[in-house]
Amino acid sequence: MPMVYEDLRRIARRQLSRRTSGHILQSGTLAHEAYMKLVQSRGIRCQNRAHFFALCSQMIRRILVDHARKRRYAKRGGGQVEVPLDEVMIGTKARGVEVEALDAALTSLAKIDERKGRVVELRFFGGLSVEETAEVLEISEETVSRDWRLAKAWLFRELNARG
């Protein structure tokens, strides 16, 4: 844990910085919860550092979506939790997207093209680089870049259609 904790907190910090104010999660809490979920999942074997962070990206996505759902259904309302898809993500002006809408769109994308869904999950939720994503998925960096561009365009169109 000490070897990866700071990297995991960096990923968590990046995710939380994309959200609007009013959230109660802190980067240390998010990093710790992701790590604990992985530890509690028996039988998971990480092949390397990139594979570990790929698993962490899945956990962080699930935690953020679960947190958004709990807030939405909370007794006192809570409102919608937003994650901005910045210029790097969609190639246009920065805008906020509700976590649950992003999760639903990403799930739809994965049904159409599982690899593109994994690329987005690894890059966006896990904070992995193109090189690390290529290593985890065992594909070329060029394929990751192409999938990333196409997935961003598809998600942008899908999220705009959902309002």
Mean pLDDT of the chain: 77
Q: How many folded domains does the chain comprise?
A: 1
Question: For residues 37 and 66, is the Cβ–Cβ distance under 8 A?
Answer: no
Which is more confidently placed, 90 or 153? 153
Which residues, listed in sequence order, are joined to residue 97 by a DSSP beta bridge?
83
* Buried-exposed string 24-60: b where 16+ CB fall within 10 A, e elsewhere: ebebeebbbbbbebbeeeeeeeeeeebebbbbbbbbb
Which domain, by its residues, includes 157?
5-161
The pTM (predicted TM-score) of the whole model is 0.61
| Per-residue pLDDT band at 102 (split at 50, 70, 90) | confident
Tens-place pLDDT, residues 40-79? 777 677 777 777 777 888 888 888 888 877 776 654 444 5
Sign of torsion, CA 23 25 31 34? negative
Task: State residue 5's pLDDT score.
Answer: 75
At CA 82, angle to CA 99 and CA 22, rounded to 5? 125
